[in-house]
Amino acid sequence: MAIGEETVGDTSHPATTTSGNVNSVTGVTAFSSIDYNHPLFLQPIDTPGSTLISLRLTGSDNYALWSRSMRIGLLGKSKLGFVNGRFPKSRFEPELHDQWETVNVIVLSWTMNVVRRGLLSSVVYASNAHKVWEDLNERFNKVNGSRVLYFHREIHTLTQGTMSVVDYFSKWRDLWDEFDASMLCPGCPYPESKKYAQHFEYHRLLQFLMGLNESYLSRPFSREIGLLHCDNSFEGRVLKERVDT
């Protein structure tokens, strides 16, 4: 399941679904009671003082990484719908509106706990977690040219040096992850895009191989490749092909 998806009220499994009725006009489930599967359900540890992630939002420089971390944390709490707009108050029965307000405030608190002090006012005086999320996205979800250039330079000047292959691969992958988070690539629904993605990944693999020490380029290194844990990735398949030839 991709980050950003949250399964609620799956009618294909009646034994585990929440109690609710589907509006025949809107097709939206109107929830009427709460159990552990319900988006309004709170565990005892779900308090306003909880810190959902360790990363604190400082601005555009780390917004991409921060927002992804928050989405993962909120998804784990089944509360992602409160920031992406999937769980507005109108989706629930009137008798659950007070509980919705409680959960909304807790999600606001979780956001407030992981932003720098200068951003607190935009969260403290807000009344809706979704609006705060949209505001932060509008303000900070921007391509930082200097940061993109930094990661681009680090990636293309990285060499193995005294590092093991495993450590070199980890650093190389971390840099690419940071680069991708700083400059998101637009998606494409067409099947042909998969070939382009593989072509792009192959170029990344070549960059990785070019940074290896000559001693590794001139002999098989299957033991080290086995430690990379990339068996299912495009890089892993190509690397294994190199080892086997």
Residue of 83, 85, 103 lying closest to 43 (CA atoms): 103
Q: What's the whole-number average pLDDT of the chain?
A: 77
Q: Are 90 and 108 in a shared domain?
A: yes
Check residues 122 and 128 and name the one with the higher pLDDT. 128
Task: Give the bridge partners for 29, in sequence order.
Answer: 22
Q: Are 34 and 111 in a shared domain?
A: yes
Alpha-carbon gap, residue 173 to 161, rounded angstroms: 16
Q: Does residue 232 belong to any structural domain of this protein?
A: yes
Q: Are 32 and 136 in a shared domain?
A: yes
The amino acid sitting at 33 is S
Asked if 3 and 72 touch (Cβ cutoff 8 Å), the reply is yes
Q: Are 135 and 153 in a shared domain?
A: no
Q: Are 136 and 20 in a shared domain?
A: yes
pLDDT (average), residues 150-175 = 89
Condensed to tens digits (0 to 9), the pLDDT of residues 15-60 reads 333 444 444 433 444 445 688 889 999 999 999 999 999 999 998 8
Residue 188 lies in domain: 145-244
Q: Are 53 and 122 in a shared domain?
A: yes
Q: Are 23 and 124 in a shared domain?
A: yes
Q: Are 75 and 167 in a shared domain?
A: no
Q: How many domains does the chain have?
A: 2
Please give the distance of CA 42 from its chain centroid, rounded to a whole number: 22
The residue from 89, 124, 140 where one domain ends is 140
Task: Give the bridge partners for 22, in sequence order.
Answer: 29
